[in-house]
Amino acid sequence: MDTELRELYQQVILDHNKSPRNFRVIEHPSHSSEGYNPLCGDTIHLYLTIEDGIVKDISFQGSGCAISKASASLMSSMIKGKTIEEAKKIFEKFQEMITGKLDENSDIESLGKLAVLSGVKEFPARVKCASLAWHTLINAINEKKEAVTTE
């Protein structure tokens, strides 16, 4: 397989695509939001239980490409237990990483497993796939009613 392609579809991504973590419905979420990517027809429904500013539980449902599904799965693992402020900071850094704007000296390790999605920066058309779950998360946190669309 081509190096650039292998960089995009790392084993971790393929694993999360096949067995996504937190792929379920939370019956009575405190926050929830829907996201939609018209380009490839990806949809995500995100559920959150936020107590005292901390993400106690997070889950998602939906359909999408390997990148969007793995990104949602990795995000859910990463965000659980974090405060809203921490989640927002991680999102900002993640967004910089996938758009290739991350400072060279920046500490990519703080993004943990999310770093496997850094290959996305070489595929401008796929940035939306990787960021859909995150935009939906921010919408849910901000309690916006309308669905996110990446267009």
Measured between alpha carbons, how far is 145 from 141 in angstroms, rounded to an integer?
Answer: 11
Residue 43 makes contact with another protein by CB under 8 A: yes
The DSSP H or E segment spanning 141 is helix 127-141
Contact stretch for another protein (CB under 8 A) within 41-49, 53-61, 85-93, 134-142: 41-49
Measured between alpha carbons, how far is 39 from 23 in angstroms, rounded to an integer?
Answer: 23
- In whole angstroms, the minimum distance from the beta carbon of 5 to another protein comes to 5
Residue 67 makes contact with another protein by CB under 8 A: yes
80 residue type, one letter: K
Residue 12 makes contact with another protein by CB under 8 A: no
- In whole angstroms, the minimum distance from the beta carbon of 91 to another protein comes to 22
Measured between alpha carbons, how far is 94 from 75 in angstroms, rounded to an integer?
Answer: 10
**Which residues sit opposite 148 in a β-bridge?**
35
Nearer to another protein, 14 or 92 (CB): 14
Residue 48 makes contact with another protein by CB under 8 A: no
Contacts with another protein by CB under 8 A: the residue count is: 22
Residue 39 makes contact with another protein by CB under 8 A: yes
Maximum Cα–Cα distance across the chain: 47
Residue 5 makes contact with another protein by CB under 8 A: yes
Q: Beta 54-63 vs 148-149: how paired, if at all?
A: unpaired
- In whole angstroms, the minimum distance from the beta carbon of 40 to another protein comes to 4
Choose among 40, 48, 49, 45: nearest CA to 150: 40
Contacts with another protein, residue ranges (CB under 8 A)? 1-2, 4-5, 8-9, 14, 38-43, 63-67, 69, 123, 126, 129
